[in-house]
Amino acid sequence: MTRPAAEAPALSAECTLAQRDGYEYLHETCRQSEDIPLPTGNGVLIQRRCGCTCHP
């Protein structure tokens, strides 16, 4: 399954909340920095990476 290029990846719950004033520190707690594939899942992901620009 591939995502259209125009559609940006969704943000994690931590990075979504970190966009609000006073919660900026939550970017540091986001652990969705990479895609995690299902072993032998033929491209199926257990968890998608966060689409926030705070991740390199």
- Per the model's pLDDT, the better-predicted residue between 17 and 41 turns out to be 17
- Mean pLDDT computed over 24-47: 89
- According to DSSP, the residues that pair with 45 across neighbouring strands are 37
Residues 3-35 have pLDDT tens digits of 555 577 789 999 999 999 999 999 999 999 899
pLDDT of residue 56: 72
Rounded to an integer, the average pLDDT of 24-51 is: 90
Q: DSSP 3-state assignment of 40? A: coil
Query: In a 10 Å sphere around its CB, with 0-12 CB exposed, 13-18 middle and 19+ buried, how is residue 30 labelled?
Result: buried
pTM of the predicted model as reported, rounded to 2 decimal places = 0.69
Give the C-alpha separation, 44 to 47, whole Å.
9
Number of neighbours of residue 32 by Cβ within 10 angstroms:
20
